Amino acid sequence: MNKTPGETRRFISELNAQIAGANAEIIVCPPFACLAAAQEALAGSPIALGAQNMHFEDSGAYTGEVSADILKELGVEYVILGHSERREYFAETDELVNRKVKKALQKGIKPIVCVGERLGQREAGLTEELVRLQTKAALSGVLASDMQEIVIAYEPIWAIGTGKTATAQDANVTIKAIRSAVREMAGDWADAVRILYGGSMNQGNASELMAMSDIDGGLIGGASLKAESFAKIIFY
């Protein structure tokens, strides 16, 4: 919940000026009220537009919610689903996330599905078991051939907004477990799934994290709020 529409336009303008030659797919996911401003600012840009959430129904008495069709008309290509803050503060369940994933795929929007553990679960040695269960629950009923449209973000809840981060090796082991869970569901289609690390990645640790074998990118939070610091991660 950052940036007004005007601030969003300025941010995208600044970011566009700094990404020439970037060898990365870049997505910005502003709040709902800023999507129209972002769409306008992104005209002619290689940066894709994403949303931070989406409802699983096409329309109806769901005051305050936003449908896939609304997002599509605003040029949205990606949507973050099951973010740790949505799970923590708004009681979103694995079943709810699964319904949203299926609706996004039906409407041609690529889901960025978040999974991750709390500190107590990590300390109890449950990380790999938990993320595998979350992954399978979120992707239940998804066709193997649709896996290429899905992005997964490993987002350890204990690292969000704390400045703490898993070691690159630990993050890679967990992401391997996520990919293994997808492989059990979809065979070799698992190789097409991009899996991101979302636990306080920044310009200081991006290079080490991105050197790992199974980390395909980052879901960047606070470090993306300034175009300069975000660009430095892009060009890690």
**Number of residues that this document lists for the chain:** 236
**Whether residue 155 lies in the annotated active site:** yes
- Of the candidates 204, 208, 213, 210, which has an alpha carbon nearest to the alpha carbon of residue 232? 204
Residue in 83, 85, 117, 149 annotated catalytic: 83
In sequence order, which residues have a C-beta less than 8 Å from that of residue 228 and are 6 or more positions away?
14, 18
**Whether residue 83 lies in the annotated active site:** yes
Return the amino acid letter for 129.
Answer: E
Residue 67, Ramachandran bin (φ over 0: left; ψ between -120 and 50: alpha; else beta): beta
CA–CA gap between residue 225 and residue 154 (Å, rounded): 20
Catalytic residue ranges: 83, 155
